[in-house]
Chains A and B, each alone.
Chain A
Amino acid sequence: EDKVVQSPLSLVVHEGDTVTLNCSYEVTNFRSLLWYKQEKKAPTFLFMLTSSGIEKKSGRLSSILDKKELFSILNITATQTGDSAVYLCAVGRGSSNTGKLIFGQGTTLQVKP
């Protein structure tokens, strides 16, 4: 059975801290791994990773994929209160036309002033 597992499930840090969120997966016909940020409403897209070892970066956020060990990490440096959200990891499987996204449980990050 396909499975996406995120850890930790929740995290409380102070502004300025660096955090690392983990996502491991066991999915047949892997196509891609995506990270989303969810603040109260709809998830918004952060990164898509398809190749091992290539870091994707956007400002203070970065992510990398290891297809051999079947995991990805999302790093946030110099955290701010605006980073407080649920971070979702999703793995795309199957063909690009009909394939599905399988989500992990999410990591709830709270950044305190």
Chain B
Amino acid sequence: NAGVTQTPKFQVLKTGQSMTLQCAQDMNHEYMSWYRQDPGMGLRLIHYSVGAGITDQGEVPNGYNVSRSTTEDFPLRLLSAAPSQTSVYFCASRPSGANVLTFGAGSRLTVL
């Protein structure tokens, strides 16, 4: 049981490049979400999904796209990276009806 798996762990991009952060969970959780963590600001919700085919915006969605074609996968896309998107990104999931999120190990992204 791997839990929540994020790839890559580290990535350096140049301004304007695009990339996708991958997130997969093997717990059959309906709810999945992406957070970013910046110093002094805690974790802020980017996008979330309550099931396959359903996504919605969180607090800081601008500059990010998501899709949910399967229960297991919830990729986060940066279409044109900006230095303000330098952060640590966490994917997290939980069963529908539960409160506790299980987090992936995080992906550290630097945009130059």
- Residues of chain A at the chain B interface (Cβ within 8 Å): 4, 6, 9, 31-32, 34, 41-45, 48, 88, 90, 92, 96-98, 100-106
Question: A98 touching B50 by the CB < 8 A rule?
Answer: yes
- Residues of chain B at the chain A interface (Cβ within 8 Å): 4, 30-31, 33, 35, 40-45, 48, 50, 56, 58, 90, 96-106
Question: A97 touching B90 by the CB < 8 A rule?
Answer: no
Q: Give the docked Cα–Cα distance between A70 and B103 (Å).
A: 26
Question: B103 touching A34 by the CB < 8 A rule?
Answer: no
- For B33, the chain A residues whose CB sits under 8 A away are 100-101
Given known A96-B97, A96-B98, contact A88–B42 (CB-CB < 8 A): yes
Given known A41-B105, A42-B90, contact A97–B97 (CB-CB < 8 A): yes
From A45, A97, A100, A105, give the contact of B42 (CB < 8 A): A105
Q: Give the docked Cα–Cα distance between A102 and B90 (Å).
A: 14
- For B48, the chain A residues whose CB sits under 8 A away are 100
Can you report 5 A-B residue pairs in the complex whose CB atoms are below 8 A from each other?
Answer: A45-B102, A96-B96, A97-B31, A97-B50, A106-B42
Known: A42-B105, A43-B43, A43-B90. 11 other contacts (CB 8 A): A31-B99, A32-B99, A34-B99, A48-B99, A88-B42, A96-B99, A97-B96, A101-B33, A102-B45, A103-B43, A105-B41
Q: Give the docked Cα–Cα distance between A92 and B100 (Å).
A: 9
Q: Give the docked Cα–Cα distance between A104 and B35 (Å).
A: 13
Q: Which residue of A lies closest to B44 (CB)?
A: A103
